[in-house]
Structure 1
């Protein structure tokens, strides 16, 4: 038989089916692209598929061999899911995405400064963000690359998108870690625990103990000093802040927690659920911190437009001071990034 395998399969398809409409109609399809196929990106892609969040998952990476292997593996898994898997080293594969999850970036090497890491990742984002937005001008960018707050700011500066459509994964994962730990200690399900971590996705993050509650019962009605002294709660907060480093020490990376939290954000956007999540958003003018032009994690209403609203949460004096301190740290990181960006 003349021709290759593709020609033969075309003949088989024609023998099997009678086409009655074009394949070009894409109504009802939802596409999420994952940029970077390392441990984090691959875990996010798998979780998006497993949770049936979208109809199409597109993978973009510069490593063609790794990319091909990941697509093959995920395509095999897709038999049990509803998502189609695409991949390419060409940003055009992301065209038409509703959400683009960016995990690509350099890892911080031992002894490397934060400024050095930011400079590396700004260089990567300069090449990456413009073609992504060109191919999906109506997309929402969800930045996972660390330092997540500063890199969300960089992506916003480079994209030309409204700030509401550029989001950092922020402290949602840190909040889930805190809820899980409290639930373990109190022997209840994590979904019955409401406790948020705000501020930087990093060392200056802090739990909002003043609002933490279990099924409506505030922890501070049980103990007015919750979060105000060096006790079990204080140790818990320190443990949560150090958990990522502990996981990296043990297995070399974190993956499943960030995959689930990122997928939850994507789901809230795609389904327009209006869920409130602590993600990294541009907060100037929202009466948080000291009104600096920063991306920082505060409770946000997530919708199909990205960040729909920012919640005017009530903080204690101590928590307001911690938020302002965290905002200053992120602001300095953004200043470092600004040195490598075009004038605004």
Structure 2
């Protein structure tokens, strides 16, 4: 059986920690994606994780990239992309900031990994999941949201 390919959109704190957990559990090969301005950050984080696998015994591949084509064929896509809420900013304010980001992610996901099961973690979660599903036209059972205490992460 081929190993699963898991794409992480957003190489920040949440994306990086998820990559670490996915590798530790050996759930599949991980592609850690971020915007071109942060490509070196995604590549550096991927390199750190790959080198730490010598100690952890993880046998999965991790790649850092800013190239959407590298996500082609992903079985799972986890979206953490977005700007965190700032002090005094309402969740409604955050919609205007993160909506264009999620729209870009949705458009590229539809183009490069249309069959992936998608987990959206970006805030405000309900609006971001709805927009991702609406924009991609994916069936409702293929796009879910994962909430928690992200505003404190």
Aligned residue in 2 for 1:51 = 25
On the 8 A contact 2:119/2:145 being kept in 1, the answer is yes
| Match of residue 4, structure 2, among 6, 30, 35 | 30
- Per the alignment, residue 127 of structure 2 pairs with 150
Measured after TM superposition, the shift of residue 71 of structure 1 is: 1.2
SS in 2 for 1:64: helix
Q: Could you tell me which of 59, 62, 66 is aligned with 1:82? A: 59
Deviation at 1:128, TM superposition (A): 1.5
Instruction: Output aligned runs, 1:1-344, within 5 Å.
Output: 28-54=2-28, 56-62=29-35, 63-79=38-54, 80-170=57-147, 173=148, 248=152, 253=153
Cα 1:244–1:33 shift into 2, 3 Å: closer
Q: How many residue pairs get matched? A: 149
Deviation at 1:244?
6.1
Displacement of 1:76 in angstroms is 0.4
Residues 43 and 63 in structure 2, CA contact (< 8 A), matched pair in contact too: no
State the TM-score, normalizing by the size of structure 1. 0.42
The one-character-per-residue Cα deviations of 1:151-203 (angstroms, maximum 9, x if unpaired) are: 11111011111111000013xx5xxxxxxxxxxxxxxxxxxxxxxxxxxxxxx
Please identify the structure whose Cα radius of gyration is greater: 1
Distance 1:121 1:86, change over 3 A: same
Point out which structure has higher relative CO (alpha carbons under 8 A, 6+ apart).
2
Determine the C-alpha separation between the residues in 1 that align with 2:150 and 2:89: 18
Where in structure 1 do 4 or more consecutive aligned residues deviate above 3 Å?
Answer: none
Q: Which runs of 5+ in 1 are unaligned?
A: 1-26, 174-242, 254-344
TM-score w.r.t. the length of structure 2 is: 0.90
Aligned to 1:286: none
Q: Is the 8 A contact 1:133 1:139 kept in 2?
A: no
The C-alpha deviation readout for 1:124-154, integer Å capped at 9, x for no partner, is 1121211122111211110011122221111
1:45 and 1:133 map into 2 onto residues whose CA distance is 22
